[in-house]
Structure formats: C-alpha cells, structure tokens
Amino acid sequence: MSMTTVGLAHYLVVSVVLLCLGLYCVLTRRNAIGVLMGIELILNSAGINFVAVSRYGSAGFDGQVFAVFIIMLAAAESAIGLAVVLGIYRRMRAIDTSRLTTLQG
C-alpha cells in the first residue's frame, strides 16, 4: 500500500491512537465528565475499526451495522452517566471523582 492513498492500515492506526487517548483520559481525569468523554473515545475507536474493516475487507456489512449499534448505545450510556453525575453534583456540589471516597476497603 502506498503512503499516498488512505487504506485500512491508516484507519487502524487512528483507532489505536484514539483508544490510547481514551484510556489516558479515563486514567488521568479527575472530573467525572472528563472520564465519561474518555469512555466515549474508547467506544469510538472500536467503531472506527468495525467500519474500516467492513469497508476494506471482504467481511460484508456486519461491521457497519455494529458501528451503528455502538453509537446508539454510547448515547444511552452517556444519558445515564450524565444523570448519575448530575445526582452527585446536586448532593456534593462537585463532580471530582477523587472526592468519592465513602466506599472503601
């Protein structure tokens, strides 16, 4: 594959980068919304893989369908995540995950 045309390998590299950024975000962010955004990045990195493989491989349409489901469920997960964060904000006036230390041991 020449470097001038965009192929499967390029998409896979982007998705790996996105996965790493997502994991980094989840591990370093103290802000709960930031952590949720990191999770979103991880989900989308997998989505890129599915679409790219489906487009460039001989695998048919399954991957594309899978990606649509990922987008849908990511939205559902964000909705619940934000509701939970909102509940915590109402109670503690903060969404700093390092302050959630009632449950330990």
3-class DSSP state of 6: coil
Adjacent-strand bridge partners of 96: 31
7 Rama sector, left if φ>0, alpha if ψ -120 to 50, beta otherwise: beta
CB distance 30 to 98 below 8 Å: yes
| Site map 16..35 versus another protein, x via CB under 8 A | ---x--xx--x-----x--x
Smallest distance, another protein to C-beta of residue 32, A: 6
Query: What CA–CA distance (Å, rounded) separates 79 from 66?
Result: 20
Cβ neighbours of residue 75 closer than 8 Å, sequence gap 6 or more = none
The verdict on 60 binding another protein (CB under 8 A) reads yes
The verdict on 7 binding another protein (CB under 8 A) reads no
| Site map 63..92 versus another protein, x via CB under 8 A | x-xx--xx--x--xx--xx--xx-xx--xx
Which residues of the shown chain bind another protein in the complex (CB under 8 A)? 12, 15, 19, 22-23, 26, 32, 35-36, 38-39, 42-43, 45-47, 49-50, 53, 57-60, 62-63, 65-66, 69-70, 73, 76-77, 80-81, 84-85, 87-88, 91-92, 97, 100, 102-105
